[in-house]
């Protein structure tokens, strides 16, 4: 992990993902000698992550890539002669996309059983389009209730540092969080008043909510749902790029998942006479 930290010293989020993957690897493989791990063991690990943890292909893809990097390092150190991950069929980018978009009924079901702190986090992701880490890093001084602005001061990139208009749906949540905070964090830890709430704690709450509702989702799907609903409401992609905090439009497209019905309505709108297109546009956004 020291070598990995040095390699990704300028990409903190990448290092965190590797660290998370390595945590599950340590649990599964335990103290097994590196030289004894076989391609069959890699397949068993993949199945364990999918069945016991219920993770999606995107997470398995990250885990296997990180494990492959470790074995490349092991070969360089002469701990073994080959990389057993190379025999495994790693999920492709196309098959590893988080694309679950919450329906209104699923939204109600999930939020109805989720921990109260998780409810606030997910609702703000859904209403403002923020990354969960951005909200957990936010402090009360970043919230301007009078002018209705939320400043994202710490993000994964320079493009992610932005100022968002606070929607009416978010105003009550943010007002309550600001007023109740005693340590400055918008989402303080339940264990230590001086620390912020951790994403791992939110993930634990999420696992329980997902188990109770049987909805195949990850916390990040609330951000995907925001993006899809924003496009349906008529937000152009250039604006959505800035709202989501992305540097380019290619990244934005990973977050937009339109249904066949959405596409059908958009195509029908093109056939409307010029005078009726404004009306048709409003119908598409509903």
Residues 6 or more apart from 43 whose CB is under 8 A from it? Answer: 88
Answer with the one of 87, 119, 145 that is the final residue of a domain. Answer: 87
Q: What is the mean pLDDT of residues 53-71?
A: 83
pLDDT range class, residue 63, cuts 50, 70, 90: confident
Task: Quote the CA–CA distance of 227 and 217 in Å, as a whole number.
Answer: 16
Q: What is the mean pLDDT of residues 129-146?
A: 95
Domain that holds residue 260: 256-285
Task: Quote the CA–CA distance of 255 and 221 in Å, as a whole number.
Answer: 9
In a domain, 201, yes or no: yes
Per-residue confidence (pLDDT) for residue 274, from 0 to 100: 62
- Three-state DSSP class for residue 164: strand
Mean residue pLDDT of the chain comes to 84
Least confidently predicted of 26-30, 160-164, 262-266: 262-266
Q: What CATH code is carried by the domain that includes residue 162?
A: 1.10.443.10
Start-end of H helices in the chain: 2-7, 12-29, 39-51, 57-76, 104-113, 116-128, 132-136, 168-180, 199-213, 221-232, 237-244, 249-253, 260-270, 277-285
Q: What CATH code is carried by the domain that includes residue 35?
A: 1.10.150
Give me 170's structure tokens.
């978010």
Q: Which residue carries 């998780």 as its tokens? A: 118
Instruction: Indicate the Cα dihedral angle 209, 215, 216, 220, nearest 10°.
Output: -60
What is the percentage of the chain residues whose pLDDT exceeds 70? 86
Least confidently predicted of 5-19, 94-108, 254-268: 5-19
Report the number of distinct structural domains present in the chain: 3
Per-residue confidence (pLDDT) for residue 16, from 0 to 100: 67
153 and 71: one domain?
Answer: no
């Amino acid at each position: 992990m020291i070598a990995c930290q040095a390699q990704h010293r300028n990409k903190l989020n990448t290092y965190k993902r590797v660290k998370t993957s390595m945590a599950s690897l340590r649990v599964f493989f335990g103290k097994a000698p590196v030289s004894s791990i076989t391609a069959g063991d890699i397949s068993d690990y993949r199945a364990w992550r999918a069945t016991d943890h219920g993770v999606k292909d995107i997470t398995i893809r990250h885990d296997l890539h990180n494990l492959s990097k470790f074995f490349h390092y092991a070969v360089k150190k002469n701990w073994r002669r080959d990389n057993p991950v190379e025999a495994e069929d790693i999920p492709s980018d196309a098959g590893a996309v988080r694309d679950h978009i919450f329906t209104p009924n699923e939204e109600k079901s999930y939020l109805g059983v989720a921990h109260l702190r998780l409810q606030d986090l997910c609702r703000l992701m859904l209403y403002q389009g923020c990354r969960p880490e951005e909200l957990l890093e936010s402090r009360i001084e970043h919230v301007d209730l009078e002018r209705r602005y939320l400043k994202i001061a710490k993000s994964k990139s320079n493009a992610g540092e932005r100022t968002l208009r606070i929607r009416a749906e978010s105003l009550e949540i943010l007002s309550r969080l600001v007023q109740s905070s005693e340590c400055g964090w918008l989402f303080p830890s339940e264990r230590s008043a001086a620390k912020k709430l951790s994403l791992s704690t939110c993930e634990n709450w999420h696992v329980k909510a997902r188990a109770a509702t049987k909805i195949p989702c990850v916390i990040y799907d609330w951000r995907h749902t925001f993006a899809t609903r924003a496009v349906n409401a008529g937000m152009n992609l250039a604006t959505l790029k800035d709202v989501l905090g992305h540097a380019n439009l290619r990244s934005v497209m990973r977050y937009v998942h339109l249904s066949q019905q959405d596409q059908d309505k958009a195509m029908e709108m093109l056939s409307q006479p010029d005078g009726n297109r404004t009306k048709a546009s409003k119908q598409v956004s509903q």
